[in-house]
């Protein structure tokens, strides 16, 4: 429920440190998202914003280097809830808290937003959620649900702006992707499809590569990444191949190619359009200054 209209977003640093607590808002709306490093949680709990009904997200990196983790919750007693999570949950490193500048969120808002956000996060599949059962959709009057949908859309934008695109899939649907934006990596026992995006290179679900790998990646990031993807279930072994069970974002085309081919690779050359144009030719050599 987001759109591509221009927006002005303000990020306030209450302590002047860009690595510390950050407060983000779209200047024409009442929703704020506050990012709090775990080490600064005591400082946040002294702020008046911590005394509100809130929706919150706890983010942390996975120990196996695979998909990062998130826990989504809501509460009418934010100070007590976050203090409890600080004592009992180990995985998280940063909390992001969604509140209303006018203190107008109710428990009914928060319950619906928790359910809505958990469904959206699971659909996007960027993060492994720590919630367990998501429960059923809470009963919410239609006017209030409409408010919640607007709050969700604002939260979507602010979370992504702060570096947490939790509700955005790593790749656009194939139905919305022009054929010339799809790239292929193929050889004996290898059939990869992918997209070059603003964040990196996405290998698409159903792609498969060689189970065996060459000496050129032994001890290298590509070998370690292969093992992590197998351990997390992103890839599954099927006979002599390894198949992607879901879309996966790599930070470079070359790492994506090396993982799927099982050897050291230049992804700018290995990934080609269906007409045989390399990723390099399409995305780098074709750049023109107007």
Q: State the average pLDDT over residues 130-155.
A: 90
pLDDT at position 64 over 60: no
From residue 236, how far is each of 84, 184, 232, 248 by CA, in Å?
37, 20, 9, 13
Least confident window among 91-95, 109-113, 140-144, 231-235: 231-235
Q: Are residues 44 and 140 in the same domain?
A: yes
211 plus 144 within the same structural domain: no
* pLDDT for residue 179: 79
* Same domain assignment for residues 206 and 131: no
CA distance 170 to 126: 7
Average pLDDT for 83-92? 95
pLDDT value, residue 52:
94
For residue 4, tell me if it sits in a domain.
no
Q: Inform me whether the pLDDT recorded for 176 exceeds 80.
A: no
Is a pLDDT exceeding 50 seen at residue 29? Answer: yes
Q: What's the number of CA atoms in the CB half-sphere (13 Å) around residue 93? A: 9
Last residue of a domain, one of 127, 161, 195: 161
Examine residue 246 and state whether it is found in any structural domain, yes or no.
Answer: yes
224 lies in some domain: yes
What distance in Å separates the CA atoms of residue 47 and residue 250, rounded to the nearest whole number?
Answer: 38
Average pLDDT over residues 83-94: 95
Confirm whether 230 is domain-assigned: yes
Q: Does one domain contain both 94 and 217? A: no
Q: Is residue 166 part of a domain?
A: no
Q: Burial of 1 by CB count in 10 Å (0-12 exposed, 13-18 middle, 19+ buried)?
A: exposed
* Position 126 in a domain: yes
Per-residue confidence band for 1, with pLDDT thresholds at 50, 70 and 90: very low
Average pLDDT over residues 94-106: 95
- Does one domain contain both 153 and 213? no
Would the pLDDT of 180 be above 90? Answer: no
Same domain, 114 and 68: yes
Provide the pLDDT for residue 74. Answer: 96
Average pLDDT, the chain: 91
178 and 156 co-located in one domain: no
Structural domain containing residue 223:
174-283
| Least confident window among 97-101, 129-133, 171-175 | 171-175
Q: How confident is the model at residue 178 (pLDDT cuts 50, 70, 90)?
A: confident
Give the number of other CB atoms < 10 A from CB of residue 233.
12
Query: Both 128 and 205 in a single domain?
Result: no
Residue 290 lies inside a defined structural domain of this protein: no
In the chain, the percentage of residues whose pLDDT exceeds 90 is: 79
Asked if 140 and 87 sit in the same domain, the reply is yes
The predicted pLDDT at position 288 comes to 59
Higher-pLDDT residue of 9 and 174 is: 9
Mean pLDDT in residue range 271-277: 94
CB 263 within 8 A of CB 213: yes
Count of the separate structural domains present in the chain: 2
34 pLDDT tier (thresholds 50, 70, 90): very high
Q: Could you tell me if 183 and 133 lie in one domain?
A: no
Are residues 19 and 110 both part of a single domain? yes
Binned at pLDDT 50, 70 and 90, residue 3 comes out as low
| 28 and 155 in a common domain | yes
Q: Answer whether residue 4 shows pLDDT above 80.
A: no
> What single DSSP character describes residue 243?
E
Q: What is the mean pLDDT of residues 56-83?
A: 88
Q: What's the rounded mean pLDDT across residues 150-163? A: 96
- Domain membership of residue 122 (yes or no) is yes
SS3 242: strand
Mean pLDDT over residues 139-164, rounded? 95
């Amino acid at each position: 429920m987001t759109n591509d209209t221009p927006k002005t977003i303000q990020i306030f640093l209450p302590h002047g440190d860009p690595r510390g607590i950050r407060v983000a808002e779209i200047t024409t709306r009442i929703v704020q998202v506050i990012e709090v490093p775990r080490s600064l949680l005591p400082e946040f709990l002294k702020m008046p914003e911590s005394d509100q009904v809130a929706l919150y997200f706890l983010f942390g990196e996975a120990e196996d280097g695979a998909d990062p983790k998130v826990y989504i919750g809501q509460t009418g007693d934010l100070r007590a809830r976050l203090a409890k999570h600080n004592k009992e949950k180990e995985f998280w490193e940063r909390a992001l808290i969604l509140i209303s500048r006018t203190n107008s969120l109710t428990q009914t808002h928060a319950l619906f937003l928790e359910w809505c956000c958990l469904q959206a996060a699971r659909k996007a599949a960027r993060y492994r959620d720590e919630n367990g059962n998501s429960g059923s959709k809470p009963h919410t009057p239609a006017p209030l649900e409409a408010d919640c949908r607007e709050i969700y859309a604002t939260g979507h934008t602010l979370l992504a702006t702060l570096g947490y695109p939790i509700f955005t899939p790593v790749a656009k649907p194939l139905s919305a992707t022009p054929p010339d934006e799809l790239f292929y990596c193929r050889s004996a026992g290898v059939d990869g499809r992918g997209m070059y995006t603003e964040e990196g290179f996405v290998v698409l679900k159903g792609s498969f590569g060689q189970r065996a790998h060459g000496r050129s990646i032994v001890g290298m990031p590509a070998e370690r990444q292969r093992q992590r993807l197998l351990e997390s279930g992103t890839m599954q072994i099927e006979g002599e191949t390894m198949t992607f069970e879901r879309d996966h974002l790599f930070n470079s085309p070359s790492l994506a190619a090396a993982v799927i081919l099982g050897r050291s690779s230049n992804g700018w050359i290995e990934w080609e359009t269906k007409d045989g144009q390399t990723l390099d030719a399409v995305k780098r050599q074709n750049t023109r200054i107007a």
